[in-house]
């Protein structure tokens, strides 16, 4: 075998290895779930709002639609809340704590958070609630969405015992309705 043949053989092997690596990397990326904030259409209001989505290989699944300002604050707006909460959902998904959701308190405010086990401590805060929000109502709404029983995202607008709901996040991501637009 001459030097030119060896060089061609090595080049072919290198290109084949790169192609295989690229295909495997793309397949892995296609299977990944990302929580993102994007504009979503609310047919009831006939308007677009920042929306926390689970982006899956099947498409985007609306989780929370951010319609209202926070305490009428100029600093905290629906877009900022959407960006922040979407990132928190991603963190919980990545650290595999999105198994149970519950209520809690952080910095004196009500929160919805994840727990690794029933009766476990809050692991990742998903969203901070406004004083007028009913933590158990928001938790129940989120549970219905993540269990695939609700086809609408939470419309974040609205001395309590702590409740834990077990979530099968994989089932939710496989069966929840996907938004078409």
Residue 47's pLDDT is what? 93
Residue 82's pLDDT is what? 94
Rg of the chain's alpha carbons, rounded to an integer?
21
Residue 69 lies in a domain: yes
Tokens representing residue 43 in the block:
């047919």
114 bridge partner residues: 101, 124
Tokens representing residue 176 in the block:
């929840």
Asked if 50 and 130 sit in the same domain, the reply is yes
Asked if 87 and 41 sit in the same domain, the reply is yes
Asked if 43 and 104 sit in the same domain, the reply is yes
User: What's the angle, vertex CA 166, arms to CA 69 and CA 90, rounded to 5?
Assistant: 50
Instruction: Classify each residue of 123-135 as buried b or exposed e, where b means 16 or more C-beta atoms within 10 Å of its C-beta.
Output: bbbbbbbbeebeb
Residue 132 CB-half CA count within 13 A: 8
Asked if 4 and 67 sit in the same domain, the reply is no
Asked if 116 and 157 sit in the same domain, the reply is yes
Asked if 114 and 51 sit in the same domain, the reply is yes
Burial class (CB in 10 A: 0-12, 13-18, 19+), 144: middle
Q: Domain range holding 7? A: 1-31
Instruction: Measure the CA–CA gap between 128 and 110, rounded to whole angstroms.
Output: 6
Residue 38's pLDDT is what? 96
Asked if 24 and 51 sit in the same domain, the reply is no
Asked if 42 and 12 sit in the same domain, the reply is no
Residues 6+ apart with CB under 8 A from 96: 116
Number of domains in the chain: 2
Asked if 56 and 145 sit in the same domain, the reply is yes
Other C-beta atoms lying within 10 Å of the C-beta of residue 94: 14
Residue 150's pLDDT is what? 65
pLDDT digits (tens), the chain, 181 positions: 555 655 554 455 454 444 444 433 433 444 689 999 999 998 888 999 999 999 999 999 999 899 877 656 677 788 999 999 999 999 999 999 988 999 999 888 899 999 988 888 889 999 888 888 888 888 888 888 887 776 666 665 433 445 667 777 888 888 888 887 6
Instruction: Measure the CA–CA gap between 77 and 160, rounded to whole angstroms.
Output: 28
Give residue 72's Cα distance to chain centre. 25
Asked if 158 and 126 sit in the same domain, the reply is yes
């Amino acid at each position: 075998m001459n030097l030119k043949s060896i060089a061609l053989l090595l080049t072919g092997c290198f290109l084949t290895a790169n192609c295989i690596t690229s295909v495997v990397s793309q397949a892995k990326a296609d299977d990944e779930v990302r929580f993102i904030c994007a504009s979503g259409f609310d047919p009831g209001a006939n308007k677009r709002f920042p929306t926390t989505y689970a982006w899956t290989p099947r498409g985007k699944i609306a989780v929370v639609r951010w319609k209202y300002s926070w305490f009428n604050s100029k600093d905290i707006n629906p877009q900022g809340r959407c960006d922040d909460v979407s990132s928190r959902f991603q963190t919980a998904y990545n650290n595999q704590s999105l198994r149970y959701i519950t209520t809690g308190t952080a910095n004196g405010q009500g929160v919805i958070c994840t727990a690794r086990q029933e009766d476990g401590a809050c692991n990742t805060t998903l969203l901070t609630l406004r004083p007028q929000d009913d933590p158990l109502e928001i938790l129940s709404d989120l549970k219905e969405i993540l269990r695939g029983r609700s086809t609408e995202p939470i419309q974040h607008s609205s001395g309590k015992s702590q409740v834990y709901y077990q979530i099968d996040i994989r089932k939710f991501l496989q069966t929840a309705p996907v938004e078409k637009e």
